[in-house]
Amino acid sequence: MNADYLKKLKQDHFKITPKRRAILDLFDREDKCLTPETIWEHLKKTFKQSGLPGIYRNLELFVKQGILIRIDREGRKRYYALCHDHSGHHHHHIVCVECGRVDDFPVCHFPDIKSTKGYKILSHSMQINGICKSCQ
Amino acid sequence: MNADYLKKLKQDHFKITPKRRAILDLFDREDKCLTPETIWEHLKKTFKQSGLPGIYRNLELFVKQGILIRIDREGRKRYYALCHDHSGHHHHHIVCVECGRVDDFPVCHFPDIKSTKGYKILSHSMQINGICKSCQ
DNA sequence: CTGCGTGCAAAGTATTTGCAAACCG
DNA sequence: CGGTTTGCAAATACTTTGCACGCAG
């Protein structure tokens, strides 16, 4: 599981520190999106020293590495979730509005439009919101 | 143009104040998404008294009314844009990453899936990012 | 006139930065 | 060992709230 993420980091010469492992492990265990603060609460159980800034920095690193994605939810907080499909295939995510569970959404139905209304299209982001099985 | 927005407000018994007019006029004139602060800068030219909190409150009101939408861009600031299509039809928006111009995106190709992976689907949000004609 | 709308000041909260110490490889 | 990573403290930036006055309807 986790090994894939670590490999990604290694490839780009980032160090595998205990905190980084712990953050990724946590995401592996919880199937849902987490806020920096939630992650911090967990890490504090294991590490007597642990700071929020370090978590912010690592989360953003993981996003850049394609290991995590950002999730939009109500409120002003940031949420992050594991991107399970690291095959590089284009896909989207579905988020449970109740518990924050996140799954890869298998198919992208967005057509291969390259331009429209004069725009050159660069990217699109889609998030599907729903209620997962166990929350229904 | 603007009249439609005002009508919406009236219908729900919100008052048409000079500031509210001015904000909507500004969005009508500028074809792009704006931050609360930018709007404030503009209003200060016309009104010698004008506060940021009032702008925040109005912007959120307009979103609730379906007059504006929130736009995601880089950075921590909020962006808002006019939602031109107030026919109630489902649609999305395309945003120029350079200048912030926003247009309605005509077609939604998202299929009418009601559930998948056990999720009951509630909604989805999509934003298309590109570069508009004049920025290319 | 009545209650919504607004300015102002202040508070609140999430996130970022700087720097020195710790640590991975 | 050397440069990355991290904690801590403090700063920053954006947004919200409370309250009194003003104005639209």
Which pLDDT score, from 0 to 100, does residue B99 have?
A: 96
**Residue B39 CB in 7 A reach of strand C:** no
pLDDT > 90? residue B87:
no
Region B40-67 average pLDDT: 97
Residue B104 parent element (H or E): strand B102-105
- The CA-based angle A113-A115-A117, given to 5 degrees, is 120
Which pLDDT score, from 0 to 100, does residue A111 have?
A: 63
Region B50-76 average pLDDT: 95
Architecture of domain A3-130: Orthogonal Bundle (1.10)
What ranges in chain A are assigned the alpha helix state H?
A: 2-11, 18-29, 36-46, 52-64
DSSP letter at A133 equals G
CA atoms of B80 and B19, how far apart (whole Å): 16
- Taking an 8 Å cut-off on Cβ atoms, the answer to whether B97 and A132 are in contact is no
pLDDT > 80? residue B21:
yes
Strand, coil or helix: B60: helix
Region B52-64 average pLDDT: 97
pTM for the full model? Answer: 0.90
- Taking an 8 Å cut-off on Cβ atoms, the answer to whether A130 and B110 are in contact is no
Residue B8 parent element (H or E): helix B2-11
Measure in Å the smallest separation between the Cα of B29 and chain A Cα atoms: 19
Give tens-digit pLDDT for A13-71: 999 999 999 999 999 999 899 999 999 999 999 999 999 999 999 999 999 999 999 99
CA atoms of A32 and B7, how far apart (whole Å): 42
**Residue A133 CB in 7 A reach of strand C:** no
Give tens-digit pLDDT for A93-130: 999 999 999 998 876 766 666 778 899 999 888 899 99
Which pLDDT score, from 0 to 100, does residue B129 have?
A: 93
Judge residue B134's burial from the number of C-beta atoms within 10 Å of its C-beta, 0-12 exposed, 13-18 middle, 19 or more buried.
exposed
Region B92-118 average pLDDT: 83
Which pLDDT score, from 0 to 100, does residue B117 have?
A: 87
- Which residues of chain B neighbour A106 with C-beta distances below 8 Å? 116-117
B111: contact with A, CB 8 A cutoff: yes
pLDDT > 80? residue B24:
yes
Confidence of residue B130 (pLDDT cuts 50, 70, 90): very high
Which pLDDT score, from 0 to 100, does residue B1 have?
A: 56
Q: Taking the domains of chain A in order of start, what are their residue ranges?
A: 3-130
- Taking an 8 Å cut-off on Cβ atoms, the answer to whether B105 and A116 are in contact is yes
- The CA-based angle A42-A45-A51, given to 5 degrees, is 70
Hey, which of A2-6, A73-77, A83-87, B78-82 has the most confident mean pLDDT? B78-82
Nearest by CB: B130 against A72, A121, A127: A121
Confidence of residue B86 (pLDDT cuts 50, 70, 90): low
Rounded to the nearest 10 degrees, the angle between the axes of helix B36-46 and helix B18-29 is 120
> Which has the higher per-residue pLDDT, A1 or B119?
B119
A121: contact with B, CB 8 A cutoff: yes
pLDDT > 60? residue A1:
no
Q: CB–CB of B107/B85 below 8 Å?
A: no
Residue A79 CA, nucleotide D4 C1', distance (Å): 26
Confidence of residue B45 (pLDDT cuts 50, 70, 90): very high
CA atoms of B96 and B98, how far apart (whole Å): 5
Q: CB–CB of A68/A81 below 8 Å?
A: yes
| Segment 69-88 of chain B within 8 Å of chain A by CB | 72
Measure in Å the smallest separation between the Cα of A122 and chain B Cα atoms: 5
For A3, half-sphere exposure in the C-beta direction (CA atoms, 13 angstrom radius) is: 1
Residues 6 or more apart from B42 whose CB is under 8 A from it? B22, B26
CA atoms of B2 and A51, how far apart (whole Å): 49
Nearest by CB: B119 against A116, A123, A132: A132
Which pLDDT score, from 0 to 100, does residue B109 have?
A: 63
